[in-house]
């Protein structure tokens, strides 16, 4: 199969999608008139601030007014079912002028009405619920200059019992925590509940590619929202992921925050960005443009194609806002660290159809490591065009440049990291690299009806690294001398992804289906060239001499390769609701894979794989979800390999069985307890009959238990905590002893980050944070010849915020513990930073 032609076909599909979704200009404007509940408008992707809610008595009942700025439209979709009138306002948030959020609730405001609530359902949706005592309430919607009006009639004056509209989906959240009921003859008061973003995120899209409550997903998924990034003053994605169970650093490419992660025992390289592949292992991910990070545990090939079986990391970026927003931040700390950044957003046109957002950051830092430095420039503009009530188009770009010292950490001596100062650099200070990454793409969405939506997206990632290396990381000579290899190299990598999806909803009797059909074409291209000095310099790790004659680097290439990987994926998923408390998730994906590479001699191969998934959720009571799932994944080797008989190696396969329980407490605190077993097969190992070749008979197995808790314990007291028990071992191999632990996998690991902020009094806005992180012993290599000791690290923070500004001090490794974060091998071990303090000041307008 020639995937080049399929690339052209998918480009044509993208053009057709645009032609479907782009209306005639006369179709864009919608009259502002009386709107019955049977005429919902459709989401545009805006975030409109609802700054107040008023309830005024009328002759027929009560009017609930959602106040917005004049000219701003709220997008409403009907979710009514049974006796509940439910309207979801997509693209809105209940938010006071000072940034606090609030909820609205009234018990028995009218005859025949049990209660009326208005709450933030998620970070982009407001849910209005009117609960009828015996029948579906009569509710009319009016679009007014002051906002959206819900006119609710008393049952006694309603002309007749209205019939329920076809439900777009079942209600997926419980009633918010009760507040004191307002008097029926007075406007209902607002109750301030806290910050716009908390530690608990009720919905996520990574697991299903639909906006699904976490409690309805038969799998473990953890979300790190923006609030945690800000509270921890996180500038490295690896620091954010320390809050998630079973996620550990896997290497640390060149001493930067680039590289991969270890999830549930298996190494994972490359992240996803807004659901599309971002396979740039060699470039770090800046947090300036991150809205949240979603971690899906276990095999995820059914929606994301070729991935390792441990799980995936999906970064969700910031989107344009419909109201003007301006934010600036400056951070500075020890080791000559300083970082200014700003974030601005708002409309570009008077009608709000064109929105923008721009994030810019500059970072300059030294290090506790000798000679080490990093300089970074980051720019991320985003433009959204709301073409019509039904269609939107977003263009996003991201440019990042890093200039840094290439640092491969410390070696082992015996079965432990060498007993040398953790600041010691094993290399020469001329080892300086420059790395640039450009990300660009678009996302197009068109709503055919309230039940069917078309999505089309394209992503392009281009990265290039070039520099001079003079690095260690090789086997020591006499446990004292490190060979320092010198040379120059450059490495470029490109990732193209085109993805088209159709999402719908229909009923078969009382059973609700939410199907997803998708087609994805992905191309990865790598090109590498090196100019190597053949003989190494020997560096005494106990008494290094950096003042040596730097050798001349040859002008002719000494090694190079080019490889291209094309993948076509076709996938289908159905989220089936049998009852409010019983849900089934089924799906499958077929991938056709083609690889061409040239290591001096051109070669190619074509393979295919099918990846299924099935899971079930049962909710015996509303706050509790019990689930079980079965999933598979596949991952081709990065480079083409063949056996002694010239047969190409098949992709490795991952198979997982998982059971778990999820609990929600008062819509404020969520917990997930999961148990799993993953088996990875087709692992390449030494061929005992032909030592110069390999065979695919290896097997690795990981099983474990995880606990993740996040949310608000009491007003002002937030927490995110995790624990993981992981038993990840080699179960079959011709070279590595059976029973050896996999690299960088602690048997026990736990984390806790908790923040308390004073809610009233003269010191309102003063907050304190405490972070505790325990990581058990890990093996630095698959052969288990070197062990990274366990460690317990304490972090803390203190901050004060008032009105629109915030001042903070963050302390990392408070008690100055010596510890080792991760390794790539026994001779490449990265130590953690000693005591670090960073002060920051931020202001918003």
The terminus-to-terminus CA distance of the chain in angstroms comes to 55
Nearest to residue 774, comparing CAs of 794, 749, 795, 753? 749
Q: Are 516 and 573 in contact (CB under 8 A)?
A: yes
d(CA 582, CA 626): 10
Query: If 0-12 CB within 10 Å is exposed, 13-18 middle and 19+ buried, where does residue 600 land?
Result: exposed
DSSP string, 53-74: EEEEE-SSEEEEEEE--TT---
Q: Which helix (H) or strand (E) holds 7?
A: helix 3-21
Q: Which residue reads 């994972």 in tokens?
A: 268
CA angle 731, 736, 740 (to 5 degrees): 55
| CA distances in angstroms from 579 to 153, 196, 513, 618, listed in the order given | 30, 32, 11, 9
CA angle 760, 765, 768 (to 5 degrees): 110
Domains delineated in the chain: 33-195 (2.60.40.3500), 203-314 (2.170.130.10), 333-844 (2.40.170.20)
Kindly state the DSSP code that residue 600 receives in the 8-state scheme. Answer: S
Reported as a single tens digit per residue, the pLDDT across 774-793 is 999 999 999 999 999 999 99
Q: Are 556 and 533 in contact (CB under 8 A)?
A: no
Phi/psi-derived region of residue 335, left when phi > 0, alpha when psi is between -120 and 50, beta in every other case? left
pLDDT of residue 202: 86
pLDDT of residue 233: 95
Q: Which residue reads 């994906």 in tokens?
A: 589
Beta bridge partners of 146: none
pLDDT of residue 72: 61
Q: Are 472 and 426 in contact (CB under 8 A)?
A: yes
Query: Which parts of the chain register pLDDT below 70?
Result: 1-46, 69-73, 97-100, 123, 143-146, 155-197, 279-283, 638-646, 692
Q: Are 115 and 131 in contact (CB under 8 A)?
A: yes
pLDDT of residue 820: 96
pLDDT of residue 182: 34
CA angle 502, 212, 346 (to 5 degrees): 80
pLDDT of residue 33: 31
Tell me the pTM. Answer: 0.80
d(CA 123, CA 603): 49
| CA distances in angstroms from 837 to 233, 766, 772, listed in the order given | 11, 19, 16
d(CA 37, CA 45): 21
Reported as a single tens digit per residue, the pLDDT across 173-193 is 333 333 333 333 333 333 333
Segments in 342-473 forming alpha helices (H)? none
């Amino acid at each position: 199969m020639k995937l080049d032609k399929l690339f052209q076909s998918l480009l044509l599909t993208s053009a057709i999608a645009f032609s479907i979704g782009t209306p005639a200009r006369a179709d864009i404007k919608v009259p502002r008139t009386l709107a019955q509940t049977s005429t919902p408008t459709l989401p545009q992707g805006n975030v409109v601030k609802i700054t107040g809610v008023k309830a005024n008595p009328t002759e027929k009942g009560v009017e609930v007014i959602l106040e917005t700025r004049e000219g701003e439209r709220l997008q409403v979709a009907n979710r009514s079912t049974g006796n509940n009138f439910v309207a979801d306002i997509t693209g809105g948030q209940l938010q006071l002028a000072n940034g606090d959020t609030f909820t609205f609730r009234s018990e028995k405001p009218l005859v025949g009405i049990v209660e009326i609530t208005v709450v933030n359902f998620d970070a982009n949706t407001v849910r209005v619920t009117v609960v009828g005592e015996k029948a579906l309430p009569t509710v009319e919607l009016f679009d007014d200059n002051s906002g959206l009006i819900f006119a609710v009639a008393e049952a006694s004056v309603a002309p007749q019992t209205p019939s329920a509209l076809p439900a777009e989906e079942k209600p997926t959240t419980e009633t918010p925590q009760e507040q004191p009921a307002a008097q029926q003859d007075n406007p209902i008061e607002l109750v301030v509940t806290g910050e716009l973003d908390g530690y608990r995120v009720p919905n996520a899209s990574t697991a299903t590619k639909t906006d699904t409550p976490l409690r309805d997903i038969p799998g473990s998924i953890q979300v790190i929202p923006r609030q945690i990034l800000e509270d921890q003053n996180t500038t490295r994605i690896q620091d954010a992921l320390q809050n998630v169970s079973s996620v550990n650093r896997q290497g640390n490419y060149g001493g930067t925050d680039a590289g991969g992660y270890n999830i549930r025992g298996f190494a994972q390289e490359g992240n996803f960005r807004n659901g599309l592949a971002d396979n740039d292992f060699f470039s770090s991910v800046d947090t300036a443009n991150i809205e949240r990070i979603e971690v899906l545990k276990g095999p995820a090939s059914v929606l994301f194609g070729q991935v390792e079986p441990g799980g995936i990391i999906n970064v969700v970026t910031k989107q344009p806002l419909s109201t003007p927003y301006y934010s600036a931040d400056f951070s500075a700390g020890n080791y000559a660290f300083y970082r200014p950044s700003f974030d601005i957003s708002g409309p570009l046109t008077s009608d709000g159809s064109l929105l923008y957002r721009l994030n810019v950051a500059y970072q300059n830092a030294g290090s506790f490591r000798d000679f080490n430095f990093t300089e970074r420039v980051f720019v991320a503009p985003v433009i959204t065009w709301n073409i019509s009530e039904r269609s939107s188009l977003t263009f996003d770009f991201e440019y990042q440049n890093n200039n840094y010292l290439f640092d491969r950490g410390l070696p082992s001596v015996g079965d432990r990291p060498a007993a040398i100062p953790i600041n010691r650099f094993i290399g020469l200070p001329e080892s300086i690299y420059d790395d640039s990454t450009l990300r660009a793409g678009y996302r197009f969405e068109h709503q055919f009806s309230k039940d069917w939506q078309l999505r089309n997206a394209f992503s392009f990632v281009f990265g290039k690294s070039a520099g001079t290396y003079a690095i260690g990381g090789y086997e020591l000579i006499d446990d004292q001398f490190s060979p320092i290899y010198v040379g120059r190299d450059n490495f470029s990598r490109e990732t193209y992804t085109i993805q088209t999806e159709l999402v719908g909803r229909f009923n078969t009797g009382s059973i609700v289906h939410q199907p997803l059909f998708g087609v994805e074409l992905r191309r990865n291209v790598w090109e590498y060239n090196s100019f190597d000095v053949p003989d190494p310099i020997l560096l005494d790790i106990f008494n290094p001499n950096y003042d040596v004659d730097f050798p001349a680097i040859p002008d002719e290439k000494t090694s190079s390769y080019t490889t291209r990987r094309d993948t076509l994926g076709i996938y289908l998923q159905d989220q089936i609701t049998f009852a409010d408390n019983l849900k089934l998730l089924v799906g499958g994906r077929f991938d056709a894979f083609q690889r061409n590479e040239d290591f001096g001699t051109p070669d190619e191969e074509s393979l295919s794989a099918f990846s299924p998934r099935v899971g079930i959720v049962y909710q015996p009571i509303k706050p509790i979800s019990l689930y079980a799932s079965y999933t598979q994944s596949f991952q081709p080797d990065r480079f083409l390999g063949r056996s002694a008989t010239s047969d190409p190696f098949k992709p490795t396969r991952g198979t997982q069985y998982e059971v778990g329980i999820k609990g929600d407490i008062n819509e404020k605190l969520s917990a997930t307890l999961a148990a799993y077993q993953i088996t990875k097969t087709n692992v390449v190992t030494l061929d005992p009959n032909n030592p110069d070749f390999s065979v695919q008979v290896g097997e690795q197995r990981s099983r474990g238990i995880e606990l993740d808790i996040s949310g608000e314990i009491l007003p002002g007291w937030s927490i995110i905590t995790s624990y993981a028990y992981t038993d990840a071992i080699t179960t079959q191999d011709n070279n590595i002893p059976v029973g050896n632990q996999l690299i960088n996998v602690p048997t026990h690991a736990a984390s806790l980050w908790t923040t308390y902020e004073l809610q009233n009094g003269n010191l309102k806005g003063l907050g304190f944070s405490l972070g505790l992180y325990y990581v058990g012993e890990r093996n630095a290599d698959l052969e288990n010849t070197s062990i990274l000791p366990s460690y317990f690290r304490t972090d803390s923070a203190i901050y004060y915020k008032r009105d629109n500004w915030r001042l903070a001090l963050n302390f990392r490794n408070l008690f100055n513990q010596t510890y080792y974060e991760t390794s790539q091998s026994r001779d490449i071990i990265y130590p953690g930073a000693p005591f670090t303090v960073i002060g920051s000041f931020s202001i918003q307008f």
